[in-house]
Amino acid sequence: MLLTLFRLLARLPLPAAHALGRALGLAAYAWPGKYRDRLRANAAQAGYPGNAFARRAAAQTGAMILEMPRVWFRSRQSLAQTTSDDFDAVVGPARAEGRGILFLTPHLGCFEITARYVAQRLPMTVMFRPPRKDMLAPLLDTARNSSNVRAVPATLQGVREFVRTLRKGECVGMLPDQAPGEGEGVWAPFFGRMAYTMTLPGKLATQTRVPVILVAGVRLPRGKGWRLHFVRVPEPLPEDPTQQAALINASMEAVIRRYPEQYLWSYNRYKTPR
């Protein structure tokens, strides 16, 4: 039933999906509770206080959710609405070096479109976390298998596959701003507050000696699609895992501050691991 619903939502024109999503996002924000409190607190922590900004961010979160079915089940049409002004300028030189590339996509804009866009041009492997609710598994399995992107689980087996892929000179992608489990991260500043930050990106980059590139799929107004932005993280990365995490967090902050309303401020980024 959920799969059928998402397939129906995928048929919505993108302007309609974004408009409906923004309305639902505002409705969710209007309801007092943890979601609204966390969104406002995290945005204020980053320097974006006030109800007006929080409402705009909530509307963008709704648009993000309602655009996912289209990206998952109508990838070809979605990619036709996706452009980039700096792919060749940033990714091209990195590929010319003859190494693999580690792409990092924060929860900014349409992060589901980024790997699909890159996969049109380069072999692409991404890491995913299995859903906590079993009812979501068929939906996400179908979504992952509907593109040219190869997916591996966020397990030791998946990490080993990432290393092999990078050493072959191919590309991998992951979300770097998820809160890791105990023993999988270090404490590093993120928008002026210490956040438990995953060390895997830094370990992969230093172990395989590949460049790290941040990519963000920014949502264009009036349902016109998305524009991708690529930013290379300065090299060489520090050897210390805490310094690596701090550098990657700072690089993410710079990208997020370009389009702060499209960041997922409601995510529980500052939670403490068990």
pLDDT tens series, the chain, 274 aa? 777 888 899 999 999 999 999 999 999 999 999 999 999 999 999 999 999 999 999 999 999 999 999 999 999 999 999 999 999 999 999 999 999 999 999 999 999 999 999 999 999 999 987 666 666 666 666 666 556 788 898 899 999 999 999 999 999 999 999 999 889 999 999 999 999 999 999 999 999 999 999 999 999 999 999 999 999 999 999 999 999 999 999 999 999 999 999 999 999 999 998 7
Q: Count the Cβ atoms, other than its own, within 10 Å of residue 28.
A: 18
Q: Count the Cβ atoms, other than its own, within 10 Å of residue 206.
A: 16
What whole-number distance in Å separates Cα of residue 216 and Cα of residue 52? 24
Q: How far is CA 250 from the centre of its chain?
A: 16
Tokens coding 153: 């689980």
Q: Count the Cβ atoms, other than its own, within 10 Å of residue 34.
A: 9
Q: Which residue has the tokens 């992107």?
A: 149
What whole-number distance in Å separates Cα of residue 241 and Cα of residue 263? 25
The helix (run of H) or strand (run of E) holding residue 188 is strand 185-190
Domains of the chain plus CATH, in order, are 81-262 (3.40.1130.10)
The helix (run of H) or strand (run of E) holding residue 114 is helix 111-119
Q: What is the number of alpha carbons within 13 Å of residue 227 lying toward its C-beta?
A: 8
Tokens coding 122: 């380069």
- Classify strands 82-84 and 226-232 as parallel, antiparallel or unpaired: parallel
Whole-model pTM: value is 0.94
Tokens coding 71: 């990206």
Rounded CA Rg of the chain = 18
- The closest alpha carbon to 232, from 109, 95, 107, 113, belongs to 95
At residue 266, φ and ψ (nearest 5 deg) are -75, -10
